[in-house]
Amino acid sequence: MANVAVIGAQWGDEGKGKVVDWLASRADVVVRFQGGHNAGHTLVVGSQTYKLSLLPSGLVRGKLGVIGNGVVIDPEALLAEIARVSAQGLKVTPETLRIADNAPLILPLHSALDRAREGARGENKIGTTGRGIGPAYEDKIARRAIRVADLAEPETLADKLDELLLHHNTLLRGLGAETFEKQALLDHLLALAPRILPFAEPVWERLDELRRVGKRILFEGAQAVMLDIDHGTYPFVTSSNTVAATAASGTGVGPGTVGFVLGIAKAYTTRVGSGPFPTELHDATGKLLGERGHEFGTVTGRPRRCGWFDAALVRQAVKVGGVQGLALTKLDVLDGLPELRIGVGYQIGGEVLRRLPASPRAQAVAVPVYETMEGWSSSTRGARSWADLPAQAVKYVRRIEELVEAPVTLLSTSPERDDTILVRDPFEG
């Protein structure tokens, strides 16, 4: 049986939480491999709604959850999330959750710098969540990050804070923001240490053992391919690599362990924050999609921008993300629309492209080239087989497959976990 990696194939918020939760029933362990608490997954289970940011979605299914070294961890945010879901009845203990001991930490100074920079950009804001994700990844690359294992060594922690504060306080002063004192930060981290360290271990070792005995591993990505730091709509991207290849480096396994790559895409397109969005709708249809789809960011609460399905964008994500099959979500949101459009390319100047160029200026002026299809009048909500779908809805899905050059292996027709049409079990490889 194959392992599975789940990644977003648009700009995030595609419904990964539900799909991962659904797949977790077939997995033994669910692993987060990148991002931080700037991404959220919403899971609806009966009358309970769980909003997860750092915790792997598999915990809702009672599966072992692992947070890999590719994730940047805000220890306060993690503990608050554990407390919140524990109050909802989930069991989160060192027996059910393991954290990579080499994962970098997000400190209060990271979020302070994030907010100060974003404020200084004025109208040129990138649209970050202000939660310190980017600055924490910067420290990781600059080799000055404080990592989970450092919490067990007070002297190491004190020495590393000297270098960290030399860098960050200089930047904060330059931006007119409040600086940080070493002793206060040290006391803060030492107080958190006994609450975080019981979860810590070299998770690469555990994952290797699970792989060798044939356990099924589900790798859970955050954000999406078009927010990838290399392959997304730079600079309006996240601060980590979101493609499936990161599942290996972000957890400490070999690339052969990753297995089947499942990309998640909505049946239309949404985006939170700033950046190019060629198929965005500013009319009544865009508003309708937002209202029907309850399009608000899980973490930020910001309204999502809505538009037609962009097949050229998803095709690009399929290619660079290594996607082998798509899970198409929220098909029911399109019910009753008399006409649907699919973006098949972009006109930039006198040229038509089937990909978004790397240049931000070109991305900003890209005009979508559309293909029009007839909509359907009957409901798809709650459908659990192809036979339950209107013929025109099936045609829409089949046309998407052709345009993005990847098969639809799962189709989600409501937020409920069982309202899913399974075409091919990703764990079968």
Q: Where are the beta strands (DSSP E) in 196-290?
A: 200-201, 217-220, 260-266, 269-271
Letter string b/e over residues 362-401, b meaning 16 or more CB atoms within 10 A of that residue's CB: bbeebebbbeeeeebeeebeebeeeebbbeebeebbebbe
Task: Please check whether residues 38 and 186 belong to one and the same domain.
Answer: no
User: What percent of the chain has a predicted confidence (pLDDT) above 70?
Assistant: 98
User: Which of the listed residues 196, 223, 243 is the one where a domain comes to its end?
Assistant: 196
Determine the pLDDT at residue 60: 86
Choosing from 21, 28, 37, 41, which is the catalytic residue? 41
**How many whole angstroms separate alpha carbon 57 and alpha carbon 66?**
10
Q: Contact 245/299 with Cβ under 8 angstroms?
A: no
* Rounded Cα distance, 104 and 324, in Å: 31
Do the beta carbons of residue 60 and residue 98 sit within 8 Å?
Answer: no
Active site residue 13: yes
Catalytic residue among 13, 21, 332, 419: 13
- In one-letter notation, the amino acid at residue 362 is A
Q: What is the pLDDT of residue 21?
A: 80
Looking at the structure, tell me whether residues 309 and 178 fall in a common domain: no
pLDDT along the chain (429 residues), means of 10: 92 85 89 88 76 88 94 96 93 96 97 89 78 94 96 94 95 93 96 98 97 95 94 94 96 95 97 92 96 80 91 98 96 96 95 94 95 96 94 97 97 86 88
CATH number reported for the structural domain that contains residue 414 in this entry: 3.90.170.10
Query: Are 133 and 13 within one domain?
Result: no
18 membership: H or E segment, kind and range: helix 16-24
Q: Are residues 269 and 408 in the same domain?
A: yes
- Do 157 and 250 belong together in one domain? no
**Distance, CA of 327 to CA of 209 (rounded, Å):** 29
Quote the tokens at residue 387.
């036979």
- CB-based contact 49:67 (threshold 8 Å): no
Where does a domain end: 176, 196, 216?
A: 196
pLDDT at 299: 64
CATH code (residue 167): 1.10.300.10
Q: Write out pLDDT tens, residues 260-308.
A: 999 999 999 999 888 999 999 999 999 999 999 989 876 667 789 999 9
Tell me the per-residue pLDDT of 154-174, one tens digit each, with 9 for 90 and over: 999 999 999 999 999 999 999
pLDDT in tens, 295-324: 987 666 778 999 999 999 999 999 999 999
Domain range enclosing 131: 108-196
Mark whether 167 and 223 lie in a shared domain: no
- Looking at the structure, tell me whether residues 52 and 169 fall in a common domain: no
DSSP state of 347: E
Residues 362, 237 share a domain: no
| Nearest CA among 225, 333, 345 for reference residue 286 | 333
For 376-428, list the strands marked E by DSSP: 408-412, 420-422
DSSP designation for 418: T
The answer to whether residues 77 and 216 belong to one domain is yes
Pair 78, 122 in one domain: no
Handedness of CA 310, 297, 78, 47 (dihedral sign): negative
Q: From CA 354, how far away is CA 150, in angstroms rounded?
A: 47
The number of distinct structural domains making up the chain is 3
DSSP state of 152: G
Report the pLDDT value the prediction gives residue 392, as an integer from 0 to 100.
97
41 catalytic? Reply is: yes
